[in-house]
Amino acid sequence: MLNYWHLIAVMNFYCITDDRNPTTNKLLFEACQKRNINFVKIVGKEYDMSLSVDLGTNDLLYRVGTRQESIIVEKLLLNLKCVSLYDDYLTGVKKPVNVIESSILHLKAHIPIPKTIFALTNNRKLLLKYVEQLDGFPLIIKAAGGSHGVGVIKVDSAETLFSLADYLLVHDNNDFILREYIDYVHHARLIVLGNKVIDSIEYKRVRGDFRSNVGHELEVNKKKFTDVIEESAVKAVHSLGWEFGGVDVLIDKNGNHYLIEVNMPCFFPRCQMITGTDIAGMMIGYLLEKAKSWSKQL
C-alpha cells in the first residue's frame, strides 16, 4: 500500500540504457508504472553530454546499458542525493572494476574463488610454477572485460600456454588472469538485492564447450542453492560496494563452491522469465525504500 510519503513525492526512475536491452527496459518500465513512478529513459549514445543535470533525493537511478556512453552518463548523473544500487555514489563513479580488481576484493573478503594468478606472464619458468599452483592442466585464462564467455579460454598443455601467452602479451597490455579449472557440476546464477538472494537459476553444462553461458539455446532452470552459497553471493556483491548483482558460482561434485564473477548491470530478465520472481519490481521497491529512509534522515 502507498503511504503518505509516496503520495506527496513525485519520484523519477532514470533508466540509462543502450536500447539493446528492450526486455530489461520493459520490465523496469512496468515496475515503475505500477508504483506511479515517472520512468525517464536515457539512451547513452544519444545523450547531450554538455547538459549539467543535478539529480535530487526523489531521483532513482540504474544503468542497464553497457556501452561506454551509458557508463559515462551514469557517472555524470550519480551524486550524493540521488538513489542508486551503490553503497556510495563514488563507488559507481569509479566503476567498472574488472575481473582482476573484483577477484582481488573477493579474495580479501575470504570468499571462495578458484585459485587465481592475477597477471599473465610469458616467463616460462614462472608459468610452469603457476601451472603447478593451479593444480596442473587444464587451466583457464580469462581476459578482463569480456562477456558471455568470450575471453574465457581453456588451456590444456604447456605448449599452448607458452604460445598463447606470447601472443596475448604482444601489446604489453596485461589484462589476463590465470585460474584453476573447476570441473563443475552446477553453474549457479544468483541475483542479490540488498542483504538477500532474491532469485537463482542453474545453467546446464553445454555439449562441446566448457562454458555454460555460450550460445543462443542455453538450458537454464530455477534452482535454490545452499545458505552457504547464498551467503558467499551476498558477501561478494557487498565487497564491491554494490547492493545488486548477478553472481556466477561454480559448484563441483563434492559441493565445493567457487565464485567466478559478479555482474552489474546483469541480464536479470533471464531469471525473472524462468522463475516468475518480480526482480524488476523488487529493484524499484528497494530503491524507493532507500529513498524513503534517506528522506527520514534529512
Ligand X SMILES: Nc1ncnc2c1ncn2[C@@H]1O[C@H](COP(=O)(O)OP(=O)(O)O)[C@@H](O)[C@H]1O
Question: Would you say 71 or 140 has its CB closer to ligand X?
Answer: 140
Which ranges constitute the DSSP H helices of the chain? 4-8, 22-34, 68-77, 89-94, 99-108, 124-133, 158-168, 227-239, 269-275, 279-297
Contact between 137 and ligand X per CB under 6 A: no
User: Counting contacts by CB under 6 A, is residue 248 touching ligand X?
Assistant: yes
Tell whether residue 152 is a contact of ligand X (CB under 6 A).
Answer: yes
Task: With contacts defined by CB under 5 A, name the span among 6-14, 162-170, 177-185, 242-250 that binds Mg ion.
Answer: 242-250
How many Å from the N-terminal Cα to the C-terminal Cα in the chain? 23
Tell me if 106 contacts ligand X by CB under 6 A: no
What residue is closest to Mg ion based on CB?
A: 248
Phi and psi angles of residue 229, each rounded to the nearest 5 degrees, phi first: -65, -40
Q: Of 15, 161, 248, 282, which one interacts with Mg ion (CB under 5 A)? A: 248
Q: How many Cα atoms are found within 13 Å in the side-chain-facing hemisphere of 107? A: 11
Closest distance to Mg ion from the beta carbon of 291 (Å): 31
Stretch that binds ligand X, among 124-132, 143-151, 162-170, 284-292 (CB under 6 A): 143-151
- Which listed residue (212, 232, 272, 277) binds ligand X by CB under 6 A? 212
Q: Decide if residue 140 touches ligand X (CB under 6 A).
A: yes
Q: Which residues contact 297 (CB under 8 A, 6 or more apart)?
A: none
Min separation Cβ 90 and ligand X, Å: 24
Q: Strand order in 139-143's β-sheet?
A: 116-117, 176-180, 139-143, 152-155
| 143: β partners | 176
Q: For the sheet containing 257-263, what is the strand order?
A: 220-222, 196-203, 184-193, 244-252, 257-263
In this chain, which stretch among 41-49, 118-126, 181-189, 216-224 interacts with ligand X, using CB under 6 A? 181-189
Given 92, 114, 245, 269, the residue binding ligand X (CB under 6 A): 114
Q: How distant, in Å, are the alpha carbons of 248, 251, 278, 293 from that of 113?
A: 11, 11, 29, 35
Residue 81 near which of ligand X, Mg ion, none (CB within 5-8 Å, type-dependent) = none
| Closer residue to ligand X (CB): 140 or 198 | 140
Question: Largest alpha-carbon pair distance within the chain?
Answer: 68
Question: Exposure string (b/e) for 49-84, b if CB count within 10 Å is 16 or more?
Answer: eeeeeebebbbbbbbbbbbebbbebbebbbbeebbb
Closer residue to ligand X in complex, CB, 56/145:
145
**Which of Mg ion, ligand X, none has residue 114 at its interface (CB below 5 to 8 Å by kind)?**
ligand X
For binding to ligand X (CB under 6 A), which residues are involved? 114, 140, 142, 146-149, 152, 179-182, 187, 210-213, 248, 260-261
Residues lying near Mg ion in the complex (CB under 5 A): 248
